[in-house]
Amino acid sequence: ASKNSKTGKAGQRKDTNQGGSKNGKKGGLSGSSFFTWFMVIALLGVWTSVAVVWFDLVDYEQVLGKLGIYDADGDGDFDVDDAKVLLGLEPGGVVEKKSKEK
């Protein structure tokens, strides 16, 4: 009797790893791979934002100048009160919810 009597033929092994993936998982996106790519994209977004602010890549005066046409209260900037005027809400006041009357 030989050492490999279970397989039937000497020198023949049963290949249990089919497809080349680890731990029997199928190829494609697994849970950890999706999380890894999500974190990579999130970090790229964060560091791009840091670079824009740090290296002063955007001329904020020009961006705010385009919003100046919406300056409803004439204070020179576009703020919450200006947005309320554009939305038709009362500027500077508290917005109250209308109650349904029966």
What are the CA-CA distances from residue 40 to residues 43, 45, 89, 93 (Å)? 5, 9, 41, 43
Average predicted confidence (pLDDT) for the chain: 73
Position 44 scores a pLDDT of 98
* CA–centroid distance for 86 within its chain: 29
Confidence of residue 10 (pLDDT cuts 50, 70, 90): low
Length of the chain, please?
Answer: 102
Residue 3 has pLDDT above 90, yes or no: no
Structure confidence by residue, pLDDT tens digits, 43-65: 999 999 999 989 988 887 787 67
Report which DSSP code applies to 100. Answer: P
Position 5 scores a pLDDT of 53
What is the pTM (predicted TM-score) of this model?
0.38
